[in-house]
Amino acid sequence: MVARTEAVPVVTKWHWTPQDPFGDLRVRFGIKMGLAGLLALFCTQVLRLPHDNWAILTVLVLMSAQFVGSITVKAIMRVIGTIAGALVGIWLVGDYTSTPAIFLPVLFLVVALASYQFGQLGARQVPYAYFLLGLTTLTVATDGVTDPAQAWQIGLDRSEEILVGIMSSLLVTSVLWPRYAREEFFEAGRAALKTVNQLVSAHVQASIDPANAPSETEKTRDTFDQQLSVLRNLLQAGARESTFFSARLSNYNAFLVSLTNLFPAGLYLSRHRVEPWFLDHLRQETESLLAAISDEFNILTTARSPGEKLRSSRLNEAFAALQEKVNEIRDHGVLAVTPLQTAIAFAGHFAAVRTVCDELNNIRSAMEGLPRFNQPPPEAKPHWDFLPAIDWFWVRIAVKGGLAAVISIVSLKWINPPGPAVIPLMAWLLTILGRPSLRVGGTGDLRAFQTAFRASLVLAACAALLILTTPFLADYAVMNGA
């Protein structure tokens, strides 16, 4: 037997999927960041401001908040903190430079307050102004210690540079591909509701007919978890930075709570299979309610423009009819003669259906209360008011930050190192940054010093490289060849 083989021509084909590069949020963010930085640099050169790096640094900080409303609040807090810090620094340097007994304690209190408030930044954006208060005060005081006559000029230059960076960031963010957290939260909520709708529909069928048990429950769960994570991130960013979010934070929380409760209620539906002969007593009411639930999901997940009201549904009427029929069956003694396991299964199924209906009603109310773009803010949901408590963890960090700033200022007058303006600022930042790692234990202080040491080695290598390449920058042939 001779095996016959035939040559099969191999043809390599390249299939290029057309993609829109500007549709990627990362590409858009990079373009906006670059344009804002170039605009800030151009303005500093036109206005002849001496420290253009402050304007560019402001752009880098502000552009991290990508939403229009959030970057506005962050910019306002940065302006307030910078101006207040410049005034405090000028006051300290102008009046108390020759009186260390007053200068150092007041500087310690200002920096400690800024450090403590920095620890509260995760919940809202107002502490960001305190952080800029400490940063600007420390910058002006550091330069003013060596030359008190330049304190006013340093404060003015820093304020002007930061204003240039703020205006550049606001202009680019508002004009080029503006993003609104309110609308993104609304769309992400609709996407999560579609996932829950698929789950509920599949598990309702499984509760009636086990042969239709859903096979992709884990995949649906993973998808929902990712969507819920997106919503929580939007909620956190909005609560910290956007006035619209912070003013209606209880509305967003109500939506998230109902959405989170709706998913396990859908999972619970298929855990209790109701016997077909028992469902015959409720078939008409059950089918009517399931159709009403499906219609309610379609209403909630349909795209609608800002200001458009949700159309009404017959969910409550259908559930009331089912409940009335259940009461009628109970009064006729059907449940009394039903086997115990069948009655328990029906009770669990009915409780899950009730939870789904209640949470759908809550989600409808919450979605009607979500702020939309170019619309007046809706009525706020009631929320709990908690008395503020002292965070002793950040009190200790605030003391450390204030001591680091004061000790570094004293060291400037003692050793006169090169580049004195950087030392107090870096001492303070290295003390307060990375502190949350101490909450779960570990070697936070040691790690901070190790990181600072490694960063110093890298910066030293960069400085040596610049020194070595400086002669070549003046060589005409080398520059043209490069």
Mean pLDDT of 172-180: 82
Please check the confidence at residue 214 and state whether its pLDDT lies above 70: no
pLDDT at site 213 = 56
Model confidence at 15, pLDDT cuts 50, 70, 90, reads very low
Q: Is 70 left (phi over 0), alpha (psi -120 to 50) or beta?
A: alpha
Nearest CA-CA partner of 158 in 270, 49, 286, 284: 49
Please check the confidence at residue 11 and state whether its pLDDT lies above 50: no
Tokens (6 digits) for 243:
């006035």
pLDDT at site 404 = 87
Q: Is 293 left (phi over 0), alpha (psi -120 to 50) or beta?
A: alpha
Please check the confidence at residue 1 and state whether its pLDDT lies above 50: no
Highest mean pLDDT among 219-223, 316-320, 454-458: 316-320
pLDDT at site 109 = 92
Percent of the residues in the chain that have a pLDDT greater than 70, as a whole number: 76
pLDDT at site 42 = 92
Please check the confidence at residue 39 and state whether its pLDDT lies above 90: yes
Nearest CA-CA partner of 40 in 178, 153, 161: 161
Q: How many angstroms from the chain centroid is the CA of residue 317?
A: 39
> Which are the contacts of 349, defined by CB distance < 8 A and separation ≥ 6?
207, 269, 272, 273, 274
pLDDT at site 62 = 82
Please check the confidence at residue 117 and state whether its pLDDT lies above 80: yes
Amino acid identity for residue 289 in this structure: L
3-state secondary structure the chain: CCCCCCCCCCCCCCCCCCCCHHHCHHHHHHHHHHHHHHHHHHHHHHHCCCCHHHHHHHHHHHCCCCCHHHHHHHHHHHHHHHHHHHHHHHHHHHHHCCCHHHHHHHHHHHHHHHHHHHCCCCCCCCHHHHHHHHHHHHHHHHHHHHCHHHHHHHHHHHHHHHHHHHHHHHHHHHHCCCCCHHHHHHHHHHHHHHHHHHHHHHHHHHHHCHHHCCCCHHHHHHHHHHHHHHHHHHHHHHHHHCHHHHHCHHHHHHHHHHHHHHHHHHHHHHHCCCCHHHHHHHHHHHHHHHHHHHHHHHHHHCCCCCCCCCCCCCHHHHHHHHHHHHHHHHHCCHHHHCCHHHHHHHHHHHHHHHHHHHHHHHHHHHHHCCCCCCCCCCCCCCCCCCCCCCCHHHHHHHHHHHHHHHHHHHHHHHHCCCCCCHHHHHHHHHHHCCHHHHHHCCCHHHHHHHHHHHHHHHHHHHHHHHHHHHHHHCCHHHHHHC
| Domain residue limits, the chain | 21-178+390-441, 181-368
Question: Is 378 within 8 Å of 251 (Cβ atoms)?
Answer: yes
For the stretch 241-289, pLDDT in tens is: 566 666 777 788 888 888 888 888 877 776 666 666 666 777 788 788 8
Mean pLDDT of 371-386: 66
For the stretch 394-452, pLDDT in tens is: 888 889 888 888 888 888 777 666 655 677 887 888 788 754 443 434 445 556 666 66
pLDDT at site 440 = 39
Calculate helix-pair angle for 151-175, 52-62, nearest 10 degrees: 40
Average pLDDT, the chain: 77
For the stretch 93-109, pLDDT in tens is: 888 878 888 888 998 99
For the stretch 353-364, pLDDT in tens is: 888 888 888 888
Amino acid identity for residue 203 in this structure: H
Nearest CA-CA partner of 89 in 142, 168, 11, 167: 142
Question: Is 214 within 8 Å of 202 (Cβ atoms)?
Answer: yes
Q: How many angstroms from the chain centroid is the CA of residue 228?
A: 13
Please check the confidence at residue 478 and state whether its pLDDT lies above 60: yes
Model confidence at 35, pLDDT cuts 50, 70, 90, reads very high
* Half-sphere exposure (Cβ direction) of 433: Cα atoms closer than 13 Å: 11
pLDDT at site 309 = 83
Nearest CA-CA partner of 423 in 103, 139, 74, 179: 139
Rounded to an integer, what distance in angstroms lies between the CA atom of residue 236 and that of residue 246? 10
Class of the CATH domain delimited by 181-368: mainly alpha
